[in-house]
Structures are given as C-alpha cells and as structure tokens.
Structure 1
Amino acid sequence: MTSAVDRSALTLLPHHEWRARQTAHAARIDSLLGDHLAKRAKHGRQSIEEFLLTYYNFRPAQLRRWQPGPGFLLEDATPEEFGPYYVADDDGLVRLDVGAVLERRRESLEWIHRLLASTAARAPHFGCFGMHEWAMVYRQQPAETRHNILPLRLGAEGTAAVVDQLTVRCSHFDAFRFFTPAAKPLNLLQPTRDTQHEHDQPACLHANMDVYRWAYKLSPLVPSELIADCFELAKEIRTLDMRASPYDLTTINLEPLMVETPDGRAEYVRFQRNFFERAGELRQQLVGRCEQALGQLGL
C-alpha cells in the first residue's frame, strides 16, 4: 500500500530527461571507479577505489543505479529501475513513496541528521596532520601493520619517532579504533561510538570522507547525483589520506606527502581546508534533505 501524496507538489520528468540523467550518472561513476577490478587484482585493498568499495558498504551496482529522490514524477518508467521504494500511480507515472521510506528509516534519519548537524556546527581543527595512519602502525612489527604489503617509508623506528614528536589529536572513532595499543594513550581525545556526535569535527578527513556514507545511507531520500558528488570527494580525500600516511606507496603510483616535514604539514593543511569547504557544502545539502524529510514527520 502506497502513502497518499500531493502530486501537485511534484515535478514531471519526461522520459528523455530522466534517461539522460541516468546515462550521465552511470558514465560518471564508471569514470570515477576506473578499472577497479584490475586494480583489485594488482593492488588488493591498497587501491583507492577498492578501499572505498570495501570500507563503505555500497556496491558498484548500487552506486551506478540512478534515482532522482523525492519530488518527481517519472514518465514512461517502471519502479524496478529505481529501487524498492518507487511506485507507479494509476496513470503509470513513477514516484518515490516517501511515506514508506520514512516509516522504515525514521530512527536512522534522526541519528544521521543529528551527527551531520552537530559536526557542521563544531569549530574545525586543522592540526592533526594525518597522524591517525601513523598511530595505526606505532611501535608495531611490520607483519602486523594494517597494510602490511606496503613497507614503511621511514621504517618502524623512524615512524614511531614522528608520532612521538607530533601531537596525536584524532577525533574520529573509526580511525581511533585502529590505533595500536601503544598509540591510544597518546591521543588527546578518547572517542567512542557513543560520543561520535560530540567529537566529529568538520575539518577531519575521515568525517568528511564519511559524508559519502551518510549520503548513500539516506538514499533514496537524496538524488544519485549528490551521492556521486560525495563519492568523488571521498576518493580525493582517501588519496590524500594515503599520501600522508607512513607507507611507501611506490607500488600504487602515489607520491608521498611528507607530513614529517614543516612543508609537508603546510601542504596537508591546504588540502584539508579545501576538503573542509567542499564537504561542508555537501553536508549542508544532506542536512537540508534530512530536515525536509523530518518535516514530513512533523519533527
């Protein structure tokens, strides 16, 4: 049973228009992914694309599938093309059944909105210099490191010396939880899953990469183009994340960004500020989508 809807508030998308958007979206995702299967065979999870597809639980087929989000009537379409929450009305026009989505997703919608809004409201901090990746291998044997097929540029002792020299201030739980036991006490913060809303801050690379996570988790309440925008930014952020890591990235054709040097740290902050601005714009779009949906629930 579909929810009642005021169709006068919906915009008609002719067949040629939505089909063009669908085709353009699929081509964009194919370009962003590149030949990820070949990269998987060669580099495993070390490739940027494979990491994003593994770390984030959203498959290529889901990423390629286009849907317009709420507010549209699709001409000459079938619901199956767009996902389980799309329905065909009596006149054959297809739309998103927003009521059905909200009935199933209310709790997660409220949680995501709270996280996005609280992160956006917090003051940015630009002084972490990517030390989270270094803390994940701090005083650990090479065979035990997370990316153990990649050697450490400075060796184990040189890597530990950089961590000892620079302050470790990681606010993101999903990075902190991978710190070595020796590194965790060095962190100025001790984030947990329960305190994520209190710690995520808008200059954090991982929090900004996670904007992609919240975008696809809000689907189908957000259009696929917005999810693609978030994926593209996440890919750029992950590239910097690896470049600023302690690993020798020669085998995956990445030049290191040497955050152990003053020049490297300054360059890191320049990238970080750019990502802060771009992720902030995307985060605000998602906050707006959440508030629009919550408004329909009377919240």
Structure 2
Amino acid sequence: MVLSRDEWTARREAHEQRADALTAEHRTRIGRGEKHPVWDFLFTYYAYKPAQLRRWHPGAGVELADAAERGTWRWYSPGSTPDAVVPDAQAFAREKPELASLVERMLRRTASRPGQFGCFGLHEWAMVYRAGEHRHPVPLRLGQAGTDAVVEAHDLRCTHFDAFRFFTPAAVPRNRASLTRDAQPLVEQPGCLHAGMDLYKWAMKLGPLVPGDLLLDAFELARDIRLLDMEAAPYDLSPWGVVPVPIETPEGKAEYVRRQRAFAERGAALRFALLSSWLGDDALRAA
C-alpha cells in the first residue's frame, strides 16, 4: 500500500485528535499536580507518555509518499520513490532481535492457549495479604482481616508474572504455581486481564510497525480492563466513583468472569491484528 501525502497526513491528524481525547483527563490532572489511583497506572506502569501515544505510524510495509521528514526515523527505510519511506519490519528485527523474538513468542504462544477464567482478580488481593503497609494509600473496603479471609477462602490461580511478583511473601506460596520471568511465555494465557492490557505494551514496543488505529485500540482495551481490575480489587475507591465488583460473592464472580471473557475476545482480535500488521497474514494463520 502507498499513501499519498494528503492521505497519510489526514490519517495522522485523525490519530492525533483521537489520542488527545483519550489522554485529555490525564493531562489535565498532571497540570494540576493531581494523582489518580486507577488511571495513572496507564502512564506509570506502562511508562509511555501521551506524546508517544499521539505519534502516528502507518504500520509495517505501508509506504508514505512525500515523507522526507521521516527519513531518519527509527525503523523507517527508503520507499520506492524519492522522499518516500516505509516502516521496515526487517530493520526492527536486525536492530532488536531479542525484543522481536520475545514479542512474537508472547503473542503467538498466548494466542495458542485457551483462556482461563477462574482467578477472579485475586491478584490484587494477594498484593495486600497480611500486609501492614500497602503499595497504594487507599483503604481496604473489607478491612485487613476481611481481605485476608477472602484470600484464604480461595485458590489463587494467577498466571501473570508481573502481577505475581507483587504478591506479599505470605501470598506467594498460596498461588497454584510459582511464576518466573523466564517462564512467562510458557504460561501466559488470553483470559488474564493483564495479558490483555500488555497488548498496549507490545504495540508500543513495535513502534512504527503498528498502525496508529491499532495502537489506540490496544490502549482503549488496556483502559477498559484497568477499570475492571480496580473494580474487583480490595480497595475502597468510592471517592473516585468506582463501584466495586464484589468478587467475594457469587454474583461478583459471575460479573467478573462475564466481563473477563469479553475482554479476552477483544484481546484475541488485537493479538492477531498485531501479528498480521507486523509480520503479515502468514503469521496470523500460523498463530
């Protein structure tokens, strides 16, 4: 595909407007020096600034005509005509072979597994289990004893290392498996909320190889998942308008799993789209 300058600048401008709308509230809070226990995560744990989300790329193999200003941009190569450029997946693989291998492995292997839907978001509870101090300065809605009792009444089934690594020492042996960074590609599964949120991270790491609309779709999925993650958490977030999903009850569990399955479906489509836009349709079929 070749986009004329008028075509690609129109897409860039639409992308910038959509990105600005997605980050407007965050940027306003930053300007006022305010923190938010739910939404700051999208810009601190995923340490990408709104300006990075705002930068539009066409995706691997899409040539931009009359785009000389991008000639020195990372992972762009010369196109078929003077002043044309194209995001180059091979250039990315040459410069970042370990990262390219990791991202492909994570996307393919996660896509190949069935989703698991029995964790009920208890990873957040395990992060405060029997803890005198908490990572977030927010009260527990059931108190410490009530929170501990919920953990003790359930089987911890976390499969995501980047959640597991924040478990309290008392919670670690309660998990079904002891997770490690090296084994992450072997156990990551598409039902996990954090695996869905991480699609935003992988899209960012691929940079110009990912079309702008796909990047923003991944960010929107991460945003929507983050809300459920905190609704199901043990914290009292009512001052921020967050209504809890009480996973300690049968009704709360049912709501969590229903929404978790919907996010897994959205994540599956984005996961395939990332592979396809980066590596081509053969990768989509292989995954």
Aligned to 2:64: 74
Aligned to 2:82: 91
Aligned to 1:145: 134
Q: In structure 2, the residue corresponding to 1:219 is in which secondary structure?
A: helix
* Alignment counterpart, residue 232 of structure 1, candidates 220, 224, 239: 220
Query: Distance in 2 between the 1:81 and 1:31 partners?
Result: 29
Distance 1:225 1:175, change over 3 A: same
Query: Distance in 2 between the 1:56 and 1:166 partners?
Result: 29
Query: Distance in 2 between the 1:110 and 1:78 partners?
Result: 30
Q: Does 1:124 align with 2:115?
A: yes
Provide, for residues 1-58 of structure 1, a one-character-per-residue CA deviation record: whole Å limited to 9, x for no partner: xxxxxxxxxx22122211111111111111111221333456525141x211111132
What is the CA-CA distance between 1:290 and the residue it aligns to?
4.7
Provide, for residues 115-171 of structure 1, a one-character-per-residue CA deviation record: whole Å limited to 9, x for no partner: 111111112110100000000000112xx21112x1110000011111111211101
Q: Does 1:160 align with 2:151?
A: no
Distance 1:120 1:98, change over 3 A: closer
Aligned to 2:22: 32
- Structure 2's unaligned 5+ residue stretches are none
**Considering only aligned residues, what root-mean-square deviation do their CA atoms show, in Å?**
2.1
Aligned to 1:114: 105
Aligned to 1:255: 243
Q: In structure 2, the residue corresponding to 1:246 is in which secondary structure?
A: coil
**Would the aligned equivalents of 1:79 and 1:87 in 2 still touch at CA under 8 Å?**
no
Aligned AA (1:60): P
Query: Distance in 2 between the 1:23 and 1:120 partners?
Result: 32
Aligned AA (1:83): W
**Would the aligned equivalents of 1:76 and 1:92 in 2 still touch at CA under 8 Å?**
yes
TM-score (norm 1): 0.88
Query: Distance in 2 between the 1:172 and 1:139 partners?
Result: 21
**Would the aligned equivalents of 2:68 and 2:85 in 1 still touch at CA under 8 Å?**
yes
Which stretch shifts more, 69-78 or 13-22?
A: 69-78
Which stretch shifts more, 249-258 or 232-241?
A: 249-258
Aligned AA (2:109): S
Query: Distance in 2 between the 1:290 and 1:80 partners?
Result: 19
Aligned AA (2:148): A
What is the CA-CA distance between 1:98 and the residue it aligns to?
4.1
